Structure 1
Amino acid sequence: MTNRIDYFEIGTPAPEATKTFYSGLFGWEIGPPSEAHYSMVDGGAGGLWDTTAMGGGSWAIFYVHVDDVADAVARAEELGATIALPVIDNGDITFAHLVDPLGNRFAVWRPNNTD
């Protein structure tokens, strides 16, 4: 199903403090970081990204599952969005982070293997 929110992500330059906060508040299980400094939350419901290596930004965003990431980015730009993180294909998924005209960060994504 496309055009639905089905993932969330928290970007933080303080991953241990962030893990402590959200685990304490919601009881979330937050796994160990990958080589890309990314930890899965509750077995894949979301992710926690250590942003230290990419400038230390902080965000909490939702991901919208789309049919075509590049097309969604182009349409978003036509409607006034700006690109925060350009289209990335990490092998498993293709995604991009955008900022809507009011300053809210969000993302679009799709799995690469649609079988």
Structure 2
Amino acid sequence: MGKVVGFELSSQEPEKAATFYSKVFDWEISEPKWDYWAVTSLKDSGASGVKGGISKGPRDFPHGTRIQIEVESIDQTISKATSEGAMVVREKMEFEGFFLAYLVDPTGNGIGLIQHK
């Protein structure tokens, strides 16, 4: 199986998306270059994570890519996310070994939240 090595979130409102992910998940977002905001979720030099970016999506396909984001607490993250304009698509669900929830960020991108037990 392949492993995720990056991601790109497309949006017609990339500045709004950058603000959302920075505030809710504490991601570091670079200044835009060619309508692309580089993103890193790596706060500590020894931490693992995935690099990616946020881009202005084309008008005929303005949003894309749902990613799974591991969090310490789905409940706390949902609270923070909804206060920043996210919409819950699937409430917290319990599975063997983890919890899962689906949200749509304020710009229409779908994201999944995973909390391991």
Asked if TM exceeds 0.5, the reply is no
TM-score, with length taken from structure 2: 0.44
TM-score, with length taken from structure 1: 0.45
